[in-house]
Amino acid sequence: MTATERALLLTQTAAKAAVDKLGTDLIAYDVSEQLAITDVFLVVTASNERQVGAVVDGIEEALRGLDAKPVRREGDREQRWVLLDYLDLVVHVQHTDERKFYALERLWHDCRRIELNLDERR
């Protein structure tokens, strides 16, 4: 089983929105074979708390354009690690420190990576 076309569309749209809001180090994994609850994990880094909020807001706005609303949003009070759950897609927007400490890619490195084809601004 692989990620659905809808999940891939949401992922590409969310990734572009994240980069537009200066999110960095984007990586997406097709986790559909390992998890029954979602198809894709998208992980994004932001340099500070305000940037985390801006990236999250940008992603939510872009995905609303596809009639997608998160069914769950966690961590937005501290703005260090915000999780947006769109069922087909789960987005993790992490502050630089949280990204290094939790290293989610270490957990999911055996899953197929999804090519995002984006030019990240640095």
pLDDT tens for 50-59 read 999 999 999 9
Please check whether residue 23 lies inside any domain of the structure: yes
How do residues 26-54 score in pLDDT, each as one tens digit? 999 999 989 888 999 999 999 999 999 99
Read off the CATH number of the domain in which 73 is found: 3.30.460.10
Q: Extract the tokens encoding 8.
A: 């891939």
How do residues 74-93 score in pLDDT, each as one tens digit? 997 889 999 999 999 999 99
Q: Do residues 53 and 5 make contact, with C-beta atoms less than 8 angstroms apart?
A: no
Please check whether residue 76 lies inside any domain of the structure: yes
The beta-carbon contacts of 66-72 under 8 Å, at least 24 apart in sequence, are: 66/9, 66/10, 66/13, 68/10
Number of domains in the chain: 1
Whether the predicted pLDDT of 122 surpasses 60: no
Please check whether residue 121 lies inside any domain of the structure: no
Q: In what order do the strands lie in the sheet with 112-113?
A: 72-74, 81-85, 89-95, 40-46, 24-30, 112-113
Whether the predicted pLDDT of 67 surpasses 80: yes
Please check whether residue 122 lies inside any domain of the structure: no
Please check whether residue 118 lies inside any domain of the structure: no
Domain ranges, residue 89: 5-113
Please check whether residue 60 lies inside any domain of the structure: yes
Confidence (pTM): 0.93
Q: Please classify residue 6 by burial: count the beta carbons closer than 10 Å to its beta carbon, then call 0-12 exposed, 13-18 middle and 19+ buried.
A: middle
Please check whether residue 90 lies inside any domain of the structure: yes
Alpha-carbon distance of 33 to 62, in angstroms, equals: 27
Please check whether residue 120 lies inside any domain of the structure: no
Q: Please classify residue 43 by burial: count the beta carbons closer than 10 Å to its beta carbon, then call 0-12 exposed, 13-18 middle and 19+ buried.
A: buried
Whether the predicted pLDDT of 1 surpasses 80: no
